[in-house]
Structure 1
Amino acid sequence: MKMVLSLVNLCAREVVSDHSSSPYWLSCVPRELYQALLDAAFTHCRPLAVGELVQRWPERTLTTGGSRRVGKSQCPPNRLCVQALLLAVVRGLSDKRCCLQVLDLSGLQCEDVRVEDSMGGWSLTVALCSMVLQARAAASRAHRRDGERERKRGLEAERERGAIKRDRGTAGCGNTSEGNNEAVQKMECSTNQPTLPEESVKGVRRRMEILRRKAQCEVKPNTSGNNSRLCEQDWEDVVVVHIRVDLFVNCRSWERVRDALSQPGPIRLHCRYLRVEELSASSIATLLGLLPQQDLLGVDIRYSSLGVSGLAMLLPLLAPFPQLHSLRLHYCNLDLQRTQPGQQGALQDLCKGLSSLKKLKRLCLTALRLPGHLRLLLSSLSQPLEVLKLPYLCLTSTDLAYLSCSQHASSLRELDLSENWLDDSSLPSLRRLLGQAENSLSQLSLCGCGLSDALLGALLPSLSCCRALRSLRLALNPLSRTGLVSLARTAAGIPSLRLLLYPNPLEEYEAGLPALPSSAQLLDWPLLEEPESHQLTLRMLDEVLSSRGRSRDLLVTSDLLNYSPDLTVVD
């Protein structure tokens, strides 16, 4: 079976490579091979073939997003191929051979700047919204042409009927009084109809024509009085393609996204994950009001100065989305370290808004500075969380004590406590938390938490019991080589572990570091230029992994930027 599939893929690559031959094979290729041809066109960057295949797509659905890797390759589609796909969707609206009704582009965007010629989330969002507006304009022009043709046919039919009546009247001059009364009644019925205030209508026939057009809602004057537009109900009937997509909106693309979502047309966007940056609370609220409620799975708000009151206003607007399970807030200017008037009331509203999110499974709060308020926030949730990320939150030992005894502890799959300072007072709570989550926890991040050799040594027995752990990140902690070897030995003893992100040991830094440096100092302090120090660390770690038989299946690295993100679970 694998050999047959490989042969099909090889043949598909050869077919799409020669664009001059496309008129021949497009006319006879069976529908079962369209998917293989499209995969080959994406993989080998053949945008012309992508456009021709999508324009006459024979199936109701087409999936090209992250949920289905194109060509089973980890490389995202080329920008030109994505643009060709979007243009082909618009052309396919008027192509009778195209059967496409649902297009899934969710996860298609690539945010890795190292991948050349790929399309990021912002660019994809702008291109999609431009496509939606373009399709709407084309449909409006087509309907105006149809309406004009229908109007001309109606006028011609009225003229023909009028000529027939005049001929009959001339032939039979002796009309009965009954016929005259009937004609008068018809005339009175027509003249009693309401007239359009913006048009001066004197002829009965012209008035009847305009009333008929208005009743059928084919066209009606817009605010300028020069063009025509479809009625709202007509747009509901002409929706042809539904597109599932992840949207990335900021202040530069906000107006275009709003227009694409608010103006009906033959293409409708269904947002799966919404990411917004640098938008006000009112703009975000407007955007949420335009999204179809059945489709939204997650909301990611970044670098928006919301404050506690702004966030308390937004959270109730998320309650109507029944499938929403992920909420991420990054640098949204929530600072409860400084007491402000009305802050407690807004905090209560915030907790009430969180309690309305019945399906919430993932909660990520970055740099919100909420010391001592974790119990108030998390206790309002109606069900346990599976993903909890709390970096830069200034958590206290009281917060960790609550978390270790909360309903969330035993269900956590991902936990991020990075950049929250840990000391002897918080260590017992952290060990109890790891004990509660030992059967479920697959990702743990404790980067920049101030873990020294002594603190880490006390924590290692609890870490060794986490039998489901796949990713462990401990970068930017002040460990020596001795502490690092102990960490590697414990990590090698966890069968499920696949990634260990360790800190550079203190021996690799230049002289002058304080006894217990912070994560910022470790990040900025220069490392020794001599490679011998780092080579010694690598040899010691390799010996530990080799002795446990983990040299091949456990990635051990100190590289903060390139530590195999494929091993982590994406929200």
Structure 2
Amino acid sequence: MVLSLVRLCARELVSDHSLSPSWLRCMPRELYGALLEAAFDGRRPLAVLELVQRWPERSLRVGGRTEPGHTAPNRLCIQALLLAVVKGLLDQRSALQVLDICGLRADEGGMEGPMGGWSVTVALCTKVVQARAEVQRTQRKEGDRERKRFSDLERERDLKKERGQRQELSDDSMCSKREKLVLPCLASEAEQIKGVRRRMELERRRETAATGLGGSKSEMKEKETNDDVLVHVRADLFVNARSRKCVCLALGSSGPLKVHCRYLRVEEISVANIRTLLNLLPCRGFLGIDVRYSNLGAAGLAELLPHLSNFPELNSLRLYHCNLDLRRDRLGQEDVLRDLSQGLAQLKGLRRLSLTGLRLRGQLRVLLSSLPLPLELLELPNLSLSPADFAYLSRSHHAFALQQLDLSDNRLDENTLPSIGRLLSQSSSSLEHLTLSGCCLTDALLGLLLPSIGGCLKLKSLAITLIPLSMTGLMDLVRMAVKLPSLRLLLYPNPLELYEPGLPDLPSSVELLYWPMNEDADINTTSSQLNRVLIESGRSDLLLTCDLFSYDKDLK
């Protein structure tokens, strides 16, 4: 890749920190972005600190997907970025008002080690508390200076008063008369101006309340607290039991830095603590919540859903191993199911739902039928779905809008394949990502399903791994995949011929994952046969891989 002249010059400038005082004074604001990218790419935390501390624009976006040719920031650069924001609060050269670090992660290389979402969250919340303390310390220093200046003025006035005692009494009397005439006029004028402003403010508030534009009490409270904010920070927050207090302290504090959460991910936190976190978040800009390994239970989820309805922009809900056991034969379960259905119905903007490792067999209709909008993303891995669940899903209003569908680790057989085929046919005009890994699809079952998969012409990624497929079935799968014009990634299973003998007749996904491979089998032969199919079809843009962990996630 050929680097532009601007990037080459920016890389050279940030490489030597001793030269920064000379070029920072005369650098135009249009080049700050290129310099900051070069500082991140070159791992120059001091350059990041100086550039962000005097950032000339109102907003700064750092994080998310890395552009081609750029590397992700390392740990030291991220720490320098957050420190620079705090220092810039007291720097008159900084114009920064909005910092967006959503999706910010450190790279995996370097001696400093990676910095994941948990570490970024703790570092951000620590800086928020430090910024409040720093501003308070500065205000105390300014107050001390102001009191000192006032005492000096008092002392100087006393000295002038002693010197003025020798002046004539007539001058003193004239001055006192002048003060008596002027000062009341000034005071009355100031009170009049203050009264007019007060009346105008009250009248404006009455008009706002009358027209209904004032918003709710929570929105009014947010407007009042935003008056003291200098920089708004938008981020994804990762919270567990150890970092919960730190995050709550940062969200509940008023100061120059205010955190706005885009996505919230919590692990091993009770319902009461999750509710406390939600009450501290601003209502606007909150898009989704991911709850993992928390013992919610069906009753806990029913209690949590009304609090999620307070966020009008919420469009994503993910539950991962949260101990939901929904069975109608249990006492009081009908009331819980009704509460869950009513709570989901209040999520007016929900378009992405992920339910993983929950015991929801036969209850899919109760949960999904109450959603007001059709889902664009639906992930239902490891739910032990019944034929009735698949039948409902294929006829639901969600089938026509699905863009991503994950049914992995749900056993498919002759009874469920007609419903799966109908579902794929209904979503063929919108489906872009499909995952059917660990579904016990044999050569015969996959052969019945391939025509339905081949009809999804907008499919970009297809994951069918950890299934008992022979080499013949794998070749059929690849020949179908090369006919999909939009497909860029096929995650395929290792054929049964590559495993050591001893596998059951219908092995599970766990057995296929951990069963040893046959050392005598030639894996390269399998790869060459699949690549030959790609070459013959002219599909150099399609990636075939059986590696579950190392493929490029951006393709998916």
TM-score (norm 2): 0.86
> Which one-letter code corresponds to 2:506 in the other structure?
L
Tell me which residue corresponds to 1:558.
Answer: 546
Per the TM alignment, residue 115 of structure 1 is displaced from its structure 2 partner at its CA by: 11
Which of 350, 367, 371 is the aligned partner of 2:340? 350
Tell me which residue corresponds to 2:83.
Answer: 87
Which of 124, 135, 151 is the aligned partner of 2:131? 135
Per the TM alignment, residue 350 of structure 1 is displaced from its structure 2 partner at its CA by: 1.4
Tell me which residue corresponds to 2:45.
Answer: 47
Tell me which residue corresponds to 2:538.
Answer: 549
Per the TM alignment, residue 113 of structure 1 is displaced from its structure 2 partner at its CA by: 8.8
CA separation of 1:262 and 1:523: change in aligned 2, threshold 3 A: same
Tell me which residue corresponds to 2:446.
Answer: 456
For 1:118 and 1:381, locate their aligned partners in 2 and report how far apart those are by CA, in whole Å: 39
Per the TM alignment, residue 536 of structure 1 is displaced from its structure 2 partner at its CA by: 3.0
Per the TM alignment, residue 158 of structure 1 is displaced from its structure 2 partner at its CA by: 6.7
**Aligned counterparts, 1:226-305, within 5 A:** 236-305=226-295
Q: Check the 8 A contact 1:443/1:471 in 2, yes or no.
A: yes
**Aligned counterparts, 1:479-518, within 5 A:** 479-518=469-508
Which of 115, 125, 145 is the aligned partner of 2:141? 145
For 1:252 and 1:414, locate their aligned partners in 2 and report how far apart those are by CA, in whole Å: 33
For 1:236 and 1:324, locate their aligned partners in 2 and report how far apart those are by CA, in whole Å: 22
Which of 53, 70, 76 is the aligned partner of 2:72? 76
Per the TM alignment, residue 95 of structure 1 is displaced from its structure 2 partner at its CA by: 0.8
* 2:468 corresponds to 1:472: no
- Please give the secondary structure, in 1, of the residue aligned with 2:512: helix
**Aligned counterparts, 1:147-162, within 5 A:** 147-152=143-148
For 2:252 and 2:292, locate their aligned partners in 1 and report how far apart those are by CA, in whole Å: 23
CA separation of 1:110 and 1:157: change in aligned 2, threshold 3 A: closer
CA separation of 1:125 and 1:479: change in aligned 2, threshold 3 A: same
CA separation of 1:469 and 1:375: change in aligned 2, threshold 3 A: same
Tell me which residue corresponds to 1:34.
Answer: 32
Per the TM alignment, residue 260 of structure 1 is displaced from its structure 2 partner at its CA by: 0.5
RMSD: 2.8
Q: Check the 8 A contact 2:237/2:265 in 1, yes or no.
A: yes
Describe the superposition over 1:504-560 as per-residue Cα deviations: whole angstroms up to 9, x where unpaired. Answer: 11111111111111112211211101242x23322332232222222x211111111
For 2:426 and 2:485, locate their aligned partners in 1 and report how far apart those are by CA, in whole Å: 19
Deviates more, 1:72-81 or 1:393-402: 72-81
For 1:104 and 1:139, locate their aligned partners in 2 and report how far apart those are by CA, in whole Å: 22
For 1:10 and 1:117, locate their aligned partners in 2 and report how far apart those are by CA, in whole Å: 27
> Which one-letter code corresponds to 2:544 in the other structure?
V
Deviates more, 1:498-507 or 1:253-262: 498-507
Describe the superposition over 1:478-512 as per-residue Cα deviations: whole angstroms up to 9, x where unpaired. Answer: 11111111111111111111111111111111111
Tell me which residue corresponds to 2:526.
Answer: 537
Tell me which residue corresponds to 2:93.
Answer: 97
* 2:355 corresponds to 1:359: no
Q: Check the 8 A contact 1:129/1:260 in 2, yes or no.
A: yes
Tell me which residue corresponds to 2:195.
Answer: none
Tell me which residue corresponds to 1:22.
Answer: 20
Tell me which residue corresponds to 1:193.
Answer: none
- Please give the secondary structure, in 2, of the residue aligned with 1:410: coil
Per the TM alignment, residue 400 of structure 1 is displaced from its structure 2 partner at its CA by: 0.5
> Which one-letter code corresponds to 2:471 in the other structure?
R
For 2:83 and 2:431, locate their aligned partners in 1 and report how far apart those are by CA, in whole Å: 44
> Which one-letter code corresponds to 1:128 in the other structure?
L
CA separation of 1:465 and 1:358: change in aligned 2, threshold 3 A: same
For 2:386 and 2:514, locate their aligned partners in 1 and report how far apart those are by CA, in whole Å: 26
- Report how many residues are paired: 509
Q: Check the 8 A contact 1:111/1:121 in 2, yes or no.
A: no
Q: Check the 8 A contact 1:77/1:118 in 2, yes or no.
A: no
For 2:105 and 2:334, locate their aligned partners in 1 and report how far apart those are by CA, in whole Å: 40
- Please give the secondary structure, in 2, of the residue aligned with 1:238: coil
Describe the superposition over 1:405-449 as per-residue Cα deviations: whole angstroms up to 9, x where unpaired. Answer: 000001100000000001100010000000001111010000000
CA separation of 1:73 and 1:127: change in aligned 2, threshold 3 A: farther
Q: Check the 8 A contact 2:101/2:233 in 1, yes or no.
A: yes
> Which one-letter code corresponds to 2:127 in the other structure?
M
Tell me which residue corresponds to 1:106.
Answer: 102
Tell me which residue corresponds to 1:217.
Answer: none
> Which one-letter code corresponds to 2:22 in the other structure?
Y
Q: Check the 8 A contact 1:271/1:296 in 2, yes or no.
A: yes
> Which one-letter code corresponds to 2:140 in the other structure?
R
Tell me which residue corresponds to 2:392.
Answer: 402
Per the TM alignment, residue 343 of structure 1 is displaced from its structure 2 partner at its CA by: 2.4
- Please give the secondary structure, in 1, of the residue aligned with 2:319: strand
> Which one-letter code corresponds to 2:142 in the other structure?
D
For 1:357 and 1:439, locate their aligned partners in 2 and report how far apart those are by CA, in whole Å: 26
For 2:112 and 2:497, locate their aligned partners in 1 and report how far apart those are by CA, in whole Å: 38
Tell me which residue corresponds to 1:377.
Answer: 367
For 1:116 and 1:400, locate their aligned partners in 2 and report how far apart those are by CA, in whole Å: 48
CA separation of 1:323 and 1:43: change in aligned 2, threshold 3 A: same
- Please give the secondary structure, in 1, of the residue aligned with 2:92: coil
CA separation of 1:516 and 1:28: change in aligned 2, threshold 3 A: same
Q: Check the 8 A contact 2:75/2:112 in 1, yes or no.
A: no
> Which one-letter code corresponds to 2:537 in the other structure?
R
- Structure 2 residue runs without a partner (length 5+): 181-221
> Which one-letter code corresponds to 2:520 in the other structure?
E
Tell me which residue corresponds to 1:191.
Answer: none
Per the TM alignment, residue 144 of structure 1 is displaced from its structure 2 partner at its CA by: 2.1
Q: Check the 8 A contact 1:16/1:40 in 2, yes or no.
A: yes
For 2:495 and 2:112, locate their aligned partners in 1 and report how far apart those are by CA, in whole Å: 34
Q: Check the 8 A contact 2:39/2:47 in 1, yes or no.
A: yes
Tell me which residue corresponds to 1:118.
Answer: 114
TM-score (norm 1): 0.84
Per the TM alignment, residue 564 of structure 1 is displaced from its structure 2 partner at its CA by: 2.0
- Please give the secondary structure, in 2, of the residue aligned with 1:242: strand
Q: Check the 8 A contact 2:40/2:71 in 1, yes or no.
A: no
Describe the superposition over 1:52-77 as per-residue Cα deviations: whole angstroms up to 9, x where unpaired. Answer: 1111111111111216x36x445311
Which of 381, 391, 404 is the aligned partner of 1:414? 404
> Which one-letter code corresponds to 1:536 in the other structure?
T
Describe the superposition over 1:350-391 as per-residue Cα deviations: whole angstroms up to 9, x where unpaired. Answer: 121111111111100101110000011000100100000000
- Please give the secondary structure, in 2, of the residue aligned with 1:418: coil
CA separation of 1:30 and 1:477: change in aligned 2, threshold 3 A: same
Describe the superposition over 1:217-267 as per-residue Cα deviations: whole angstroms up to 9, x where unpaired. Answer: xxxxxxxxxxxxxxx999654311111111111011111000000011101
CA separation of 1:11 and 1:162: change in aligned 2, threshold 3 A: closer
CA separation of 1:154 and 1:343: change in aligned 2, threshold 3 A: farther
Per the TM alignment, residue 155 of structure 1 is displaced from its structure 2 partner at its CA by: 5.8
- Please give the secondary structure, in 2, of the residue aligned with 1:409: coil
Q: Check the 8 A contact 1:474/1:502 in 2, yes or no.
A: yes
For 1:563 and 1:115, locate their aligned partners in 2 and report how far apart those are by CA, in whole Å: 24
Q: Check the 8 A contact 1:235/1:266 in 2, yes or no.
A: no
* 2:377 corresponds to 1:387: yes
Per the TM alignment, residue 349 of structure 1 is displaced from its structure 2 partner at its CA by: 1.2
Which of 415, 420, 423 is the aligned partner of 1:433? 423
Per the TM alignment, residue 12 of structure 1 is displaced from its structure 2 partner at its CA by: 0.6
